[in-house]
C-alpha cells in the first residue's frame, strides 16, 4: 500500500497595520507580511512552508 502524505488545510483571517512592512509579497532583505507569516508558520509547524 503506498504511503500517503498528510496535509493540513488552514484558514487564517488576518488584519494588520502595514506601517512596519514593505508590502505583502516576500522580498529578500525586507520585512513583508508574507515573509513574517511564512517564518511564523515554519516555526509552529516545525518544517519549511
Q: How confident is the model at residue 10 (pLDDT cuts 50, 70, 90)?
A: confident
In a domain, 9, yes or no: no
* pTM exceeding 0.75: no
Cα separation, 18 vs 26, in Å, equals: 14
What's the number of CA atoms in the CB half-sphere (13 Å) around residue 5? 3
In a domain, 20, yes or no: no
Q: Which long-range contacts (CB under 8 A, 24 or more apart) does 12-21 make?
A: 12/37
Q: What is the pLDDT of residue 1?
A: 54
Cα separation, 32 vs 21, in Å, equals: 5
Q: What is the pLDDT of residue 49?
A: 86
- Residue 38 clears pLDDT 70, i.e. is over it: yes
Question: What is the total count of domains within the chain?
Answer: 1
Provide the 3-class DSSP secondary structure of residue 42: helix
In a domain, 30, yes or no: yes
Amino acid at each position: 500500500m503506498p504511503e500517503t502524505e498528510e496535509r493540513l488545510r488552514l484558514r487564517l483571517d488576518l488584519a494588520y497595520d502595514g506601517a512596519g512592512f514593505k508590502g505583502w509579497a516576500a522580498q529578500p532583505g525586507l520585512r513583508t507580511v508574507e515573509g513574517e507569516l511564512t517564518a511564523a508558520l515554519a516555526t509552529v509547524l516545525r518544517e519549511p512552508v
